[in-house]
Amino acid sequence: MIIQEFDLFRDISNEVVEELITVMEDVSYNSGEVIFNEGDPADNLYVLQSGALNLFMAGTRQATCVAIKAGEAVGWSSLVGRKTYSATVKCAETSRLYKINKNKLDHILRQYPSTGLRFYKKLAGLVGERVIKCYQEIAKIREAS
């Protein structure tokens, strides 16, 4: 398991990585399975290892974002103070993910403040990229209507 290959965890010290590995769970889902639904308690961050995920936003029937690249994360609502997930995530194909409990991740990052700062800066970048992708997908859906 080399989580440092993923953007969100790049440049994290081996010491922190070793602690993260102890709290990460390797999970697999079949095509069509839901990882979490909008409104479910936001308890975990998921990092895509392989496969593809569709992210459905409130009130839409079509996927408004697709996480294809290994290393992309879903469930970041759990890390930014939301009590529930803001979208539904469903597997577009068989997928493997790392599941990380928000409280355990927070505990580790609080022990290493500089690592926590780098992590949250990368998370902010990921959120920004996701927002741009969502706007692009919404624009495509509107054009098709």
CA nearest to 81, candidates 127, 47, 115: 127
pLDDT in tens, 74-109: 998 899 889 999 889 999 999 999 999 999 999 999
Confidence of residue 18 (pLDDT cuts 50, 70, 90): very high
The pTM (predicted TM-score) of the whole model is 0.87
Domains of the chain: 3-144 (2.60.120.10)
